[in-house]
Amino acid sequence: MLTAEENALLTRVGPGTLMGDLMRQYWIPVVQSTELAAGGRPKRVRILGEDLVAYRDPAGRAALVSELCAHRRASLYFARNEASGLRCVYHGWQYAPDGRCIDQPNERPESNFQDKVTLPAYPCADRGGVVWAYMGPASAPPELPDLEWARVPDAQRFVSKFWQGCNWLQALEGGVDPAHISFLHGILDARDAAARRALDSAAAGFGFAAQLERAPHIEVADTPTGLLLGARREAPAGRYYWRITQYLLPFHTMPPPEVGEDPLLHAHVWIPMDDDQLVNWCVSWHPTRAITPDEIAEFHAGSSIHVTTYAAATSEAYGDIRPTATRANDYLADWEAQRTRKFFGVPGVGAQDKAVTESQGAYDRSLERLGRADVGIIRVRKRLLEAALALRERRIAPPGLDAASYRVRPGSVLLAKDAPWVEGARDRLIATTS
């Protein structure tokens, strides 16, 4: 159990906060690359409590600047996207991609006032079909994280994202909680063949075997970039079935795949918009083959981690990725299915996770009661606090700023009962795509 003070330190992400300062050391996904057209209109985003606009200049370079003009605070969402930068439509002030004011046409020619004006702006880069931004203080940003999913060809990757109305950490904690899948995403009767088939389809990447033992033994191991979380269940022939989640500081998780010859791999990036809402980035990829049309159809149908059915788009920050399943409509729960077949009647794994984390409200962790099954969540919180305090108090760079440390995968493996799980699964946990 955390104190109220520790809870605040972990969950507040605005400028100058402990966790906000930590997150600003890392590259952050902003929008998908296809959302910004060269010379096209700006797009509102909100990241770590800052209101910003993302755009791509006529030459094709992505940029991210503060939404409000420094002059009279008019929104640059309406700005003209010109070759040299965004031009405010109110009085014509223009800003280069680095935030410098480069033109003030309403000022006299002899004025040098523009040289004294800058907007907050952050360097951007495209990788893996995503526009990333670095919002930290380093004059030379670290290298982009060498995530395998961002390195494979486009045909081998599927990226989606959706808005969640809760604090970033309570959403991420679901991603490092191996025990909840047997309940939240489970069925009532393992002998129910129809329900099993539906579950295998709807929970692709989680695996029905995980339904067979609801109280797995959980172990946690440190890595240079975060943690490995191993959930151990009994398996035939005197073996254990290990499902291994990767947690990478500060906001990446990779749930374990199905045991098999050709499974897809999955990842989340949990990006806070502010203290009360986040963007849940969802990625599925395969290291060696294209994702099939049938697999993509399943993603759009609500299978696996993806949610792609959205309410009518608005022009607000991330207003085009608000799911149709909401608290107001009970997340489209099928209450009869919950009574007779499913542990939870909300359709779709991603929607189920969204429903329960939003149901927690403004989460005060000083009121919770954690058990042995929550060891992974406890260790994630401890790792975050240690890294953030070391950065603030001792100026120690946090883990994971070297690109190569992200060359990892999640894994599922059957091992002899006397085999050490980290060593036994090691080869499966290393990304080989260059």
* Closest by CA position to 347, among listed 316, 309, 313: 309
Residue written as tokens 């440390």?
Answer: 405
pLDDT at site 110? 87
Return the pLDDT at 201: 43
Which residues on neighbouring strands pair with residue 265, listed in sequence order? 285
What's the pLDDT score for residue 192?
Answer: 52
Is the pTM of the predicted complex or chain greater than 0.85?
Answer: yes
Sorted by where each starts, the structural domains of the chain and their CATH numbers stand as: 27-134 (2.102.10.10), 148-429 (3.90.380.10)
Strand partners, 430: 408
- SS3 per residue for 112-159: CHHHHCECCEECEEEECCEEEEECCCCCCCCCCCCCHHHHCCHHHEEE
The confidence score (pLDDT) of residue 205 equals: 42
Tens of each residue's pLDDT in the chain, 434 residues: 789 999 999 999 999 999 999 999 999 999 999 999 999 999 999 999 999 999 999 999 999 999 999 999 999 999 999 999 999 999 999 999 999 999 999 999 889 999 999 999 999 999 999 999 999 999 899 999 999 999 999 999 999 999 999 999 999 999 999 888 888 888 887 655 555 545 444 444 444 444 557 889 999 999 999 999 999 999 989 999 999 999 999 999 999 997 777 899 999 999 999 999 999 999 999 999 999 999 999 999 887 899 999 999 999 999 999 999 999 999 999 999 999 999 999 999 999 999 999 999 987 888 888 999 999 999 999 999 999 999 999 999 999 999 999 999 999 999 999 999 999 999 999 998 75
* Cα separation, 22 vs 92, whole angstroms: 36
d(CA 381, CA 220): 13
CA gap 401, 406 in Å, rounded: 9
At a CB cut-off of 8 Å and minimum separation 6, what does 178 contact?
A: 216, 218, 229, 231, 243, 245, 376
Q: In this structure, are residues 203 and 184 in contact, taking their beta carbons and an 8 Å threshold?
A: no
Any idea which residue has 């001792």 for tokens? 394
